[in-house]
Structure 1
Amino acid sequence: MNYPKFPENCKSLLCKYLTPEVFEALKDKKTPNGFTLEQAINSGVKNIDSGIGVYAGDKESYDVFDKLFDPIIEEYHGFSKTDSHKSNLNPDDLNAPNPDPDNEFILSTRIRVGRNMDNMPLGPAISKEQRDHVESSVVAGLKRLDGELKGEYYPLLGMSKEVQDALIKDHFLFKEGDRFLDAAGLNRDWPAGRGIYHNNDKTFLVWVNEEDQLRIISMQQGGDIKEVFSRLVNAIKSIETKVPFSYSEHLGYITSCPTNLGTAMRASVHIALPKLAKDMETFKAITDKYHLQIRGINGEHSESEGGVYDISNRRRLGITEVQAVQDMHDGVVALIAKEKELSE
């Protein structure tokens, strides 16, 4: 493999940090799973418009290719090689009364985490047999869920049209990965080994073997953030008894994309802020203060519809899960207060 030629307008962190020197130092290295630098950077080489451009194939990638991953992690998360990550999934430590008890502003709340199985390659490096093993282990864990978490698992392979239509209608069905994930090797053997679990109330969802091996999602209408967080924590703890998760004292929960490391959490609300939408400077000042991200309601790179936005935590690594959700809650309280002020 030769040093990739990046165009001058390339803005990804891969372009910034894969210098010829770093390339020379890493090009012949492999992780114990046989994952190479070429595989790690393929998505960013093929997709010049990537924001990051690198994916890890296993936990060891972060050590073997540290000369590339460390500066990317430091720039994205403000987190250095000597820092350590702490987890806190105790709902009692979260101070989050419902910021919108009359349901005037918040349409829905959703908190999700990414998880991967310990001692198993990540999606970009996993074999078909290993992926199938992850699926069967996760399904065994999901079958143990009871109470409000009890539900059904729907494998993508051989899925009937009726089930497919029902899952699409609920916005639960994930599709084959986009070109960034495809180039990272995450679409191989599609749709084998993948599936969706949801509870009977449709407030809890698990995606199996999408970008990460598990995407665990808790959600409901309205703004009871603490209830959504508590449900998520109960599910995580229950699944973990059957499926040990990949974790490091330095980087927290291990994920294939370095942006999700740490808590691997995105806590978000869909919220209607039509007045603030007309004053993006004030809107952004509030979200920046609370380390929040503004997106359109259809996720990243989408536009707002009718003044409704997706507001979520920006920080993931170097803060606890409770802090991430607290940021989101406190920021939403401030946004609602400002929206009311502008409406007077």
Structure 2
Amino acid sequence: MMWYTECGKDGDVVLSSRVRLARNLKGIPFPARADEKQQEEVLTRCKNAVLESGSTLADTVKYIDLSVMQDYEKQAIAERHLISPQMMDSRIKRGLLLSDDNRLSILLNEEDHIRIQAMAAGFDLDACFSLADRVDDLIEESVEYAFDEQIGYLTCCPTNAGTGMRASVMVHLPGLTISGTINQMIDSLSQLGVTVRGLFGEGSKATGYLYQISNQLTLGAAEEDILEKFKQIVESVIGKEREMRTRLYNTDKYKLEDRLMRSYGILSHAVLLSSEEAMKRLSDVRMGIELGIIKNIKLEQLNEVTYEILPANIMLKYNLPDANERDLKRAEIVRERMCS
């Protein structure tokens, strides 16, 4: 079982946690400005820093050359948040170091030379930071980072300078969304230096009540302090979401139950199912499970099917380039899960 199918701490609201560290090699231009030889140098040096380190980590990580992958293959791992959509651009030589359990992915030649991503199920930013920090130290034993005593780590985008750290959580917020209070919460978080985006990060829309919440501040404070402040903000969001779910249920129990059970019924019998509708209906079912209305499905099952039915993942697993065929297969997969 991969980490993203698990249900971790506070899993009724927080699906996953991630800590990302942005780093660049001293003396080499950022990927967009580097020539092909310099891009290759980054790949070789970073790959060797991990795979030839002699550490226990080296035994659990494999290197993936993105330049030899088809677009739909890259899209499939992007759907699982193992690479960013930007990594699909083949004009720059890019690579990925990925652990067997997918908890660690090291993006090479994305916007920065190195993006260390550590991920965990549920609300567990401390575990993510611990892993990312350990990998960061390991790589730095072999390469010298671009660093300034006053600014900190130098990054392609100035907003990442300083610690180069972004902490984020994927959250399920049906209560705040259905009640119409989500925009108010987003505005409040923005004033606290926190940004809210859709399922696939910057530029994406929220799908199925799923949002990414991440810190904006990376400069002028230590990683631990930034992380602690961010954790307190996320805990507040968790509390407000649970409170709003309870209020919605107590205000009009039968209307809410009807909505959630209708989605469950559609998923149990649909013949054609688009990706967008599937995500919305699965989100209703998730809320039903979290409220104890739907009892025969576990959140772990729902997490697994959510990733399995994404477009590129269906195309990769079942070799279905036609959208209509994918909608048929998606409905079949979901029916099986709902009735199992």
Q: Which residue pairs with 2:107 in the alignment?
A: 207
Residue 154 of structure 1, aligned match among 64, 76, 81: 64
Is the Cα–Cα contact under 8 Å of residues 145 and 238 in structure 1 kept in the other structure? no
Letter in 2 for 1:320: A
Letter in 2 for 1:266: R
The alpha carbon displacement at 1:191 in A equals: 4.5
Residue 110 of structure 1, aligned match among 10, 18, 39: 18
Distance 1:271 1:322, change over 3 A: same
The alpha carbon displacement at 1:232 in A equals: 0.7
Residue 291 of structure 1, aligned match among 193, 196, 200: 193
Letter in 2 for 1:259: T
The alpha carbon displacement at 1:260 in A equals: 1.5
Aligned residues: 235
Distance 1:148 1:134, change over 3 A: closer
Give deviations 1:117-169, integer Å, cap 9, x for gaps. 01222224322222211111101112127435631011123347997576356
User: What are the residue-to-residue correspondences of 1:147-226 with 2, within 5 Å?
Assistant: 147=56, 150-159=60-69, 167=77, 170-174=80-84, 190-192=91-93, 194-226=94-126
Q: Which residue pairs with 1:10 in the alignment?
A: none
The alpha carbon displacement at 1:201 in A equals: 0.9
Q: Which residue pairs with 2:263 in the alignment?
A: none
Is the Cα–Cα contact under 8 Å of residues 148 and 200 in structure 1 kept in the other structure? no
Q: Which residue pairs with 1:280 in the alignment?
A: 182
Letter in 2 for 1:295: R
Is 1:253 paired with 2:153? yes
DSSP-derived class of the 1:275 partner: helix
Which segment is superposed worse, 296-305 or 140-149? 140-149
Sequence identity percentage:
29
Any stretches of 5+ residues in structure 1 without a counterpart? 1-99, 179-186
**Cα-Cα RMSD:** 2.6
Letter in 1 for 2:189: T
Letter in 2 for 1:118: K
Is the Cα–Cα contact under 8 Å of residues 19 and 117 in structure 2 kept in the other structure? yes
Give the Cα–Cα distance (whole angstroms) in 2 for the partners of residues 223 and 115 of structure 1. Answer: 25
Letter in 2 for 1:284: I
Is 1:122 paired with 2:30? yes
Residue 141 of structure 1, aligned match among 26, 49, 57: 49
User: What are the residue-to-residue correspondences of 1:16-95 with 2, within 5 Å?
Assistant: none
Give the Cα–Cα distance (whole angstroms) in 1 for the partners of residues 172 and 184 of structure 2. Answer: 15
Is the Cα–Cα contact under 8 Å of residues 313 and 327 in structure 1 kept in the other structure? no
The alpha carbon displacement at 1:245 in A equals: 0.8
Q: Which residue pairs with 2:312 in the alignment?
A: none
Give the Cα–Cα distance (whole angstroms) in 1 for the partners of residues 95 and 119 of structure 2. Answer: 19
TM-score normalized with structure 1 length: 0.62
Give deviations 1:29-88, integer Å, cap 9, x for gaps. xxxxxxxxxxxxxxxxxxxxxxxxxxxxxxxxxxxxxxxxxxxxxxxxxxxxxxxxxxxx
Give the Cα–Cα distance (whole angstroms) in 2 for the partners of residues 250 and 163 of structure 1. Answer: 41
Q: Which residue pairs with 1:322 in the alignment?
A: 224
TM-score normalized with structure 2 length: 0.62
Is 1:240 paired with 2:140? yes
**Higher share in helix:** 2
Letter in 1 for 2:129: F
Distance 1:337 1:140, change over 3 A: same
DSSP-derived class of the 2:11 partner: coil
Any stretches of 5+ residues in structure 2 without a counterpart? 1-7, 248-340
The alpha carbon displacement at 1:332 in A equals: 0.6
Distance 1:166 1:292, change over 3 A: closer
